[in-house]
Structure 1
Amino acid sequence: MKRKLLFLSVIILSLLLRFWHLGANPPSLDWDEASLGYNAYSILRTLRDEYGNFLPVSIRSFNDYKPPLYTYLTVLPVSVFGLNEFSVRLPSAILGAVAVIAAYLLTCELLKRPKISLLTALFLCLSPWHLQFSRIAFEANIALTLIILAVLFYLKGLQKAIFLPLSGFMFGLSLYAYHSPRLIVPALIIGLTVIYYSRIKEKIISYLIFLIILALFFLPVFKELNNSSSARFSSVSSINPDEKLTSSIKDMEYDLNIRGDVLGKILHNRRLVFAREIIAGYLDHFNFDFLFLTGDAPGRHHAADQGMLYYFDLPLAVIGFLCLIRKISEKSSQTIFLLFLVAPLASSLTSGTPHAVRAIFYLPLYQIFSSLGLLSALFWLSSRFSKLRKNLLFIIYYLLFVINIFYLLHQYYVHTPIEHAPDWQYGYKEVVKIANVYQDKVNRIIVTYKYDQPYIFFLFYNKIDPLWYQLNWGKSEIKRAERKFGKYEFRNIDWEKDKELKNVLIIGSASEIPADSQNKIADINFPDKSPAFRIVLR
């Protein structure tokens, strides 16, 4: 009974942390969130995305072809609460809380130790990494929850065959939540099949149904490979074949022709070059700064001055990791390490490693390590120290735990909305309001492309009729830095030319429009008072 109450408390805490000021912090929608929201609104109204594609299996968006699941999940909140920040982030917050429950159940299934399961749920509930993405409309968070559930049902299916088809369904859905599972899921299936081969033979019919369900989900993905997945992979891949091939040939020619070094032909072989890039990207995800100090480069991925894990996770995770290494012959340990090794697989193939979004599948594995490490450390201390010393060490570590958590919450709610506001394209909501005031007074409204994809914020905040937009402006060929609809024109500002225009509202950045410009309407500032937008009437 006590354990159930503690688990219920963890669930309530996870809901509170994920829903408190959900629409207001992070301080603004970013372009991806606005795109997910508007496309959900478009599907709600017309059953088509912004380009007029009927119930698409990939959302074209900014030509990055997003997997569609998050957009479809957002349709219901938008229909109930309207098109706003809260509605767009609601699916992520709900499934973030579900992930905490699923992590508890998965750890119970793997380790059969309720205390470790409860600690894992608590640590995931409070995780800087998971909390950040549970409050953002990021597809990776949905995919993480689905994969945790899929592995849970897979393990349960080895005992009760009815769960295996459900596992296949969850794995299949994850393919439409985010791009990374399209590589991670096959690797997981192969690994799990090897680990549990002897038990799978006893459930062969259910396992075949599991594979058939998974294959049915994969078929549309294969069909889309020529545009969606390949376009996305090309845009983020660290492996540029042309660039690497040119570099490889140049190095081989230098070694062979100038130095007479035949070995260089082997060492600079493009296959080895590609392998080195992938391995380097993989190992980047164990970077100390990334995990514990600063997080990765994009400010949207972490709180200000906060790594992806807590400081107290470091010793605990190492202890837990070593404890599981000692039990590597057990299938539960093998499963945990399989999940851990596969987690950064997709991310390691991309540029900009380490990458918190693409490597989110490390969760809840670090939390499992930390939970096991904490209990193992307490057991070790109790057997070697007096009760007084043990309690003293426990109090010190508990204070470190509390300080870490309050530091995160302070950084997240106080400093992040100020320091990371530019990362969230802050200011567009205010810009749209001002533009609406002058819309009927000017012939054109020109909006800078400096902050990328400005058009989507005007579609979102003005709730532009999707059918009208599809029929008039949802063109198939649109340049990245040039969009138009109605009176709005989205492009780079050339002030020397644009200042000569008449009857035009120009919305630019502070670096594009001088502060002393005549007929300046307003400056839109970031929360730290630095200028974001400058609006001028010509």
Structure 2
Amino acid sequence: MLKKISIPVVFSLVLFFHVIKLDKIPIGLFVDETSIGNNAYLIAKYGFDENKVPYPLFFKAFGEYKNPLYIYVNAIVFKVLGFSEFNLRFTSFLFFALFIVVLYFFIKRIFPDNKYVWLYALISAGTLPWFFTVSRIAFEAVSQLTVVILFLFFIYRTYEEDFSTSPFNTKKLFFAIASGGFLGLSVYSYTSSRLLAFPMAIAVVLIYIRRRYFLRNICFILSFMASLIPYAVFVQKHPVALTVRFKETTYLYDPALSYLGKALIFVKNYISYFTPQYLLTKGDANLRLGIGNFGVIYVTVFGLFIFWVYLAVRKRHIKENKFLKLITAFLVISPVAGAMTYECPQSLRGQLIGLFLLILSAYAFDELKNYKSRKLITTTVFITLIAQATLFITLYFFVYPPKTVEAFIGYGFKYAFKKGIDYNPKKLNLVNDEFFTYIRFYKYVLEKEGGYFNPALSDKTKGTCYLYYDKTEKADRALPQICKGTEYIDDGMSGSRFRVRCCQSTE
């Protein structure tokens, strides 16, 4: 009875913690979130992006191209549920909800008789810091997790489940086509998959290379290649568009580095993703991607992964399991994209490491049933796992939020923007051009709330208002270059660096 009750309870708790206060924690929206929201809103309402391109494959923004999957799903959410800050991040929740559901059925198919493994996977994946933080912000990366778990689900069904021995079995071929399609779709989800998808496809074919897999491999590869046709056409038309951001973040194009120097940096960066300091204690230093001084996975998950490494060396049935070989190959491949960049380790670029570590740890957890003290060990695993998950969730909701004010920047912009509008100025200018996406996004938000008007249509009897971001540690309210020679009002939300200064007469 406990097993039957536990699954729905854990599902409910996981979804609850991922959706509660979604628009409030983290505090404020980051510029990338508002950029995604801008384009999703325009697609939903008008059918074109911020550059007036109708239904683009990739979205040009900030001098780079954003991936389409998240934005188009976000546009559907806006169309159905309405435009709001909450619904912007609610798209991430929907991606994660689908991820956790598919992961559950994926684990259930691999371990049909061990309900404790199902429960372990749900608790781990549902609260894992590596996934939790990205699932509550409007970043494209969460869609990669969802697409990759769908790919794994269908790959498992394609090659590991027993069907009719006929090579023309329709289920086998359908699952092969689906798996190739989802691997191709990952290229449109998050940037790292543009590099990772190809070696992952090769790994599938090499591991399942026997003759009896031939037709499935053909269907898989053809489906994968077909899904990349739009990508190939885009690259042909815009040969450098999708590498702009990569060239800014990688050391591979640095002329000051020798080939050996680049190779050494790559090895160092690659290893950094597997250090205990990163995985267990420090995590990502970027407070948009982690809560600070907390690992990206739990000690329990890491311990079971180490146990799996031991089993892989000692146990024949583990060493000969083709699907385990495939997951191991994916684990080896997954840090490659991140290791090519300066900022390393970085959680978003390496998030698939967390997924593959988790799957391998589930295999190790299942092996515990073969030990005499299995009840004691299993109980200990659950106690420590729940304790770590409880600690992380507590820190996330009660300690982490104040740290996000500086990390996400956008806190208080809406307040300052609204105050500037309420003043009814001749003009409303943005001093810091890098935050132009906030103007666009919150213009749409305030329009929905009935609190926006075009200052150009006002009576123009009052002076100009200036929205600005105070970059100094101690607020400098002087800004002598603004409202010079006239009285002004200066307002902003407590704790926010965004303020509005309105001149009381025309300048």
Same fold (TM over 0.5): yes
1:420 aligns with 2:400: no
Question: How far is 1:442 from its partner?
Answer: 3.7
Whole-Å Cα distance in 2 between the matches of residues 505 and 92 of structure 1?
A: 33
Deviates more, 1:214-223 or 1:38-47: 214-223
Shift of 1:519: 3.6
Deviations 1:353-399 (Å, cap 9, x if unpaired)? 0010011112322222333444545754617xxxxxx74x7666554
Call closer, same or farther: CA 1:84–1:191 in 2, change over 3 Å: same
Match of 2:199 among 161, 182, 187: 187
Q: Distance in 2 between matches of 1:207 and 1:503?
A: 61
What is the rounded CA distance, in whole Å, between the counterparts of 2:385 and 2:203 in structure 1? 35
* SS in structure 2 of the partner of residue 243 of structure 1: coil
Query: 2-side partners of 1:155 and 1:4: how far apart?
Result: 25
Give the letter aligned to residue 507 of structure 1.
Answer: Y
Is residue 286 of structure 2 the alignment partner of residue 298 of structure 1? Answer: yes
1:275 maps to: 263
Cα distance between partner residues in 1 of 2:498 and 2:224: 53
Conserved? CA contact 2:65–2:242, under 8 Å: yes
Shift of 1:180: 0.9
Pick aligned residue for 1:228 from 228, 241, 245: 241
Counterpart of 1:537 (choices 490, 502, 507) is 502
- Aligned counterpart for 2:229 among listed residues 181, 206, 216: 216
**How far is 1:516 from its partner?**
6.3
Equivalent residue, structure 1, for 2:134: 133
1:120 corresponds to 2:121: yes
Measure, in 1, the Cα distance between the counterparts of 2:135 and 2:298.
17
The one-letter code sitting in structure 2 at the alignment partner of 1:287 is: T
Match of 1:404, as an amino acid?
Q
With over 3 angstroms needed to count, the CA separation of the structure-2 counterparts of 1:514 and 1:508, relative to structure 1, is same
Q: Which residue of 1 aligns with 2:255?
A: 242
User: What does residue range 91-106 of structure 1 map to in structure 2 within 5 Å?
Assistant: 91-106=91-106
User: Which of 327, 333, 344 is the matching residue for 1:342?
Assistant: 333
Matches within 5 A, 1:89-488: 89-110=89-110, 114-115=114-115, 116-158=117-159, 160-198=172-210, 199-203=212-216, 206-207=219-220, 209-223=222-236, 226-244=239-257, 270-326=258-314, 327-377=318-368, 379-380=370-371, 382=373, 391=376, 398-425=382-409, 426-438=411-423, 440-449=424-433, 453-463=434-444
Cα deviation digits, residues 11-59 of structure 1 (max 9, x gap): 3333222212222222221111111111011112221111111211111
Quote the offset at 1:114 in angstroms.
Answer: 3.6
Q: Does structure 2 conserve the Cα–Cα contact (< 8 Å) formed by 1:318 and 1:369?
A: no
Instruction: State how far apart, in whole Å, the 1-side matches of 2:147 and 2:250 are.
Output: 25
Contact 1:17 1:131 in 2 (8 A): no
SS of residue paired to 2:26: coil
Counterpart in the other structure of 1:509: 470
Amino acid across the alignment from 1:309: I
Aligned letter for 2:362?
A: S
Deviation, 1:153, is 1.1
- Give distance in 1, aligned partners of 2:75 and 2:18: 20
Query: Percentage identity across aligned positions?
Result: 23
Structure 1 residues 180 and 535: CA distance shift in structure 2, 3 A: same
* Residue identity in the other structure for 2:154: F
C-alpha contact 1:110 1:332 (8 A) present in aligned 2:
no
Q: Which residue of 1 aligns with 2:490?
A: 521
Give distance in 2, aligned partners of 1:77 and 1:32. Answer: 18
8 Å CA contact retained: 2:415, 2:492: no
Give how far 1:465 is off.
Answer: 11
How far off is 1:64 after superposition?
Answer: 1.9
Partners of 1:110 and 1:395 lie apart in 2 by 22
**1:16-55 maps to which residues of 2 (within 5 A)?**
16-55=16-55
SS at match of 1:301: coil
- Cα distance in 1 for residues equivalent to 2:367 and 2:384: 18
What SS does the aligned partner of 1:65 have? strand
- Give the Cα–Cα distance (whole angstroms) in 2 for the partners of residues 132 and 34 of structure 1: 17
- Any gaps of 5 or more consecutive residues in structure 1? 245-269, 384-389, 467-484, 488-501
Q: Partner of 1:469 in structure 2? A: none
Looking at structure 1, the residues matched to 379 and 156 of structure 2 have their Cα atoms a distance apart, in angstroms, of 37
**Matched position secondary structure for 1:537:** strand
What whole-Å deviation, never above 9, does each CA across 1:313-356 have from its counterpart, x for those lacking one? 33222113322344222202201201211111211111200010
Structure 1 pair 465–225 and aligned structure 2 pair: CA distance change class (3 A)? farther
Give the conservation status (yes or no) of the 8 Å contact 1:285–1:344. Answer: yes
Q: Structure 1 residue 61 and structure 2 residue 90: aligned? A: no
Provide the C-alpha distance between the structure 1 equivalents of 2:341 and 2:140, rounded to a whole number of angstroms: 17
SS at match of 1:60: strand
Query: What is the DSSP-based 3-state SS (H/G/I as helix, E as strand, rest coil) of the residue aligned with 1:312?
Result: helix
Deviations 1:196-234 (A, max 9, x none): 111421436534542442443542353366233111211
Q: How many residues align?
A: 466
1:224–1:125: structure 2 CA closer, same or farther, 3 Å change rule?
farther
Name the CA distance, whole Å, in 2 between partners of 1:347 and 1:204.
28
Q: Distance between the aligned counterparts of 1:152 and 1:277, measured in 2?
A: 34
Q: 1:142 offset after TM fit, Å?
A: 0.4
- Please state how far the C-alpha of 1:157 moved relative to its aligned partner: 2.4
Secondary structure of the residue that 1:505 maps to in structure 2?
A: strand
- Asked whether the 8 Å contact 1:290–1:307 carries over to 2, the reply is yes
User: Which sections of structure 2, spanning at least 5 residues, go unmatched?
Assistant: 164-171, 448-453, 457-462, 480-486
Specify the SS of the correspondent of 1:241: coil
Q: CA deviation at 1:421?
A: 1.6
Aligned mates of 2:225, 2:365 — CA distance in 1: 41
Instruction: For 1:533, give the aligned amino acid.
Output: F
Q: 1:140, 1:510 → 2: CA distance? A: 29
**Native 8 Å contact 2:412 2:492 kept in 1:** no
Contact 1:509/1:534, CA 8 A, preserved across alignment: yes
CA separation of 1:127 and 1:290: change in aligned 2, threshold 3 A: same
Contact 2:413 2:438 in 1 (8 A): yes
SS in 2 for 1:420: helix
SS in 2 for 1:524: coil
